[in-house]
């Protein structure tokens, strides 16, 4: 099996060609620089300048359509979300290409140039944005309901997962997904349900240097849905694997006004978050040795119950 061939959940080999097609349909000049490829492939169209997010996987077109609709609604309500671009051609978003069995969805967004130095906004800014999001009423948009580990389950169930996982690893993951979903279904959530980002961590914040009133914006809306609000809190706690210290977590908890570590469901959400970080690694490991090594590292620790040993960056 070639990497990506026949698999909706693994990156197609012709992503650059699909992006060029999408740019023509959108009315943008050719020429794109890859910024990052993890859960999505993200390109900067330097002559526009806009950012193109290229997504693939199960339900990708619906996710992209929801992200565009929700961010437009949020901006209308004064929330600091990344802004979808107005396409020069007048076409709608997303631009969906490829075969029906393996669609690729391309969305175009305003580019937010980041100041030199590479420092992310801090967890206090993240908590403020989370509180603002959670205070909003439900948007008049048909939103999916949060399903724990949905994307990971799709990646593991895909036959192409055997390019990245051994049979033992795949079996363990399948069992672990089922176990955590069952435990999740038994929880009572202290902050109730509402509109959630569902991947809320400082890495999805961007400095907005052109607007003093909204100096930080929240991006990456592919997972937006209705679900327990605590889902948006747990990523900061789980950043301990990447070297975030408890004092930084304390800042976030104090700024948001809720402490998750005292809740009896904390461990379940922590384990769900850690497991979810494997999704993109499984998709990309067959074609990226560094990510393959990181997948093996994380899985070995998880399978033996090691909660302390650090992980490496993405």
Q: What integer is the mean pLDDT of 1-28?
A: 78
pLDDT over 50 at 4, yes or no: no
Separation of alpha carbons 35 and 25, rounded Å: 22
What is the pLDDT of the chain when averaged over all its residues?
93
State residue 210's pLDDT score: 85
Report CA dihedral (143, 145, 148, 153) to the nearest 10 degrees: -70
Provide the terminal-to-terminal Cα distance of the chain, rounded to the nearest Å: 26
Verify that 36 and 5 share a domain, yes or no: yes
State residue 175's pLDDT score: 98
| Class of residue 128 by CB neighbours under 10 A (exposed 0-12, middle 13-18, buried 19+) | middle
CATH of residue 55's domain is 3.30.200.20
Verify that 176 and 225 share a domain, yes or no: yes
Tokens of 137: 């009423």
Q: What integer is the mean pLDDT of 51-71?
A: 94
Verify that 85 and 161 share a domain, yes or no: no
pLDDT category of residue 7 using cuts at 50, 70 and 90: low
- The pTM of the full predicted model, rounded to 2 decimals, is 0.94
Verify that 73 and 211 share a domain, yes or no: no
Pairing of strands 225-228, 193-196: antiparallel
Verify that 106 and 140 share a domain, yes or no: no
pLDDT category of residue 6 using cuts at 50, 70 and 90: low
Domains in the chain, number: 2
Contact 85, 53 (CB under 8 A): no
CATH of residue 125's domain is 3.90.1200.10
Verify that 185 and 281 share a domain, yes or no: yes
Contact 226, 196 (CB under 8 A): yes
State residue 314's pLDDT score: 63
Verify that 142 and 252 share a domain, yes or no: yes
Percent of the chain with pLDDT over 70: 96
Q: Among the three residues 54, 85, 111, which one is the final residue of a domain in this structure?
A: 111
Verify that 259 and 187 share a domain, yes or no: yes
Q: What integer is the mean pLDDT of 46-52?
A: 93
Q: What integer is the mean pLDDT of 135-149?
A: 95
Q: Among the three residues 75, 90, 111, which one is the final residue of a domain in this structure?
A: 111
Contact 130, 230 (CB under 8 A): no
Separation of alpha carbons 221 and 87, rounded Å: 19
**Cα dihedral sign, 124-109-63-41:** negative
Task: Quick: pLDDT tens for 223-276.
Answer: 999 999 999 999 999 999 988 999 999 999 999 999 999 999 999 999 999 999
Q: What integer is the mean pLDDT of 86-90?
A: 97
State residue 1's pLDDT score: 36
Verify that 170 and 33 share a domain, yes or no: no
**Which residue from 4, 2, 313 is spatially nearest to 158, judged by alpha carbons?**
4
Which three-class secondary structure state does DSSP give residue 178?
A: helix
Distances (CA, A) of 291 to 137, 304, 307: 39, 20, 20
Verify that 52 and 172 share a domain, yes or no: no
Verify that 207 and 296 share a domain, yes or no: yes
Which three-class secondary structure state does DSSP give residue 274?
A: helix
Task: Write the DSSP assignment of 1-28 as a string of letters.
Answer: --TTTT-TTS--TTHHHHHHHHHHHHTP
Verify that 201 and 308 share a domain, yes or no: yes
Q: Among the three residues 68, 89, 111, which one is the final residue of a domain in this structure?
A: 111
Question: Crossing angle for the helix pair 167-185 and 266-276, nearest 10 degrees?
Answer: 140
Q: What integer is the mean pLDDT of 201-217?
A: 90
Q: Domain of 216? A: 114-314
Report CA dihedral (221, 32, 7, 272) to the nearest 10 degrees: -30
């Amino acid at each position: 099996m070639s990497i990506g061939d026949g698999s909706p959940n693994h990156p197609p080999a012709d992503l650059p060609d699909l992006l060029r097609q999408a740019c023509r349909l959108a009315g943008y000049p050719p020429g794109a620089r890859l910024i990052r490829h993890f859960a999505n492939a993200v390109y900067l169209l330097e002559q526009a300048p806009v950012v193109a997010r290229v997504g693939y996987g199960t339900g990708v077109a619906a996710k992209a359509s929801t992200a565009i609709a929700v961010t437009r609604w949020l901006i209308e309500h004064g929330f600091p979300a990344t802004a979808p671009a107005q396409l020069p051609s007048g076409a709608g978003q997303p631009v969906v290409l490829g075969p029906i069995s393996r669609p690729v969805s391309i969305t175009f967004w305003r580019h937010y140039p980041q100041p030199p130095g590479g420092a992310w906004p801090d967890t206090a800014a993240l908590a403020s944005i989370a509180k603002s999001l959670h205070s909003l009423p439900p948007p008049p948009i048909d939103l999916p309901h949060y399903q724990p580990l949905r994307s990971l389950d799709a990646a593991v169930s895909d036959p192409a997962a055997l390019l990245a996982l051994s049979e033992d690893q795949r079996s363990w993951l399948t069992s672990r997904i089922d176990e955590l979903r069952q435990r999740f279904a038994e929880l009572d959530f202290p902050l109730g349900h509402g509109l959630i980002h569902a991947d809320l961590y400082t890495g999805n914040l961007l400095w907005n240097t052109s607007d003093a009133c909204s100096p930080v914006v929240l991006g990456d809306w592919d997972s937006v849905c209705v679900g327990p609000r605590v889902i948006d809190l747990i990523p900061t706690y789980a950043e301990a694997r990447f070297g975030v210290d408890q004092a930084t977590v304390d800042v976030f908890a104090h700024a948001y006004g809720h402490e998750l570590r005292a809740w009896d469901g904390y461990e379940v959400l922590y384990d769900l978050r850690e497991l979810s970080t494997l999704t993109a690694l499984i998709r990309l490991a067959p074609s990226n040795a560094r990510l393959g090594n990181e997948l093996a590292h994380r899985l070995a620790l998880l399978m033996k119950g090691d909660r302390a040993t650090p992980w490496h960056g993405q």
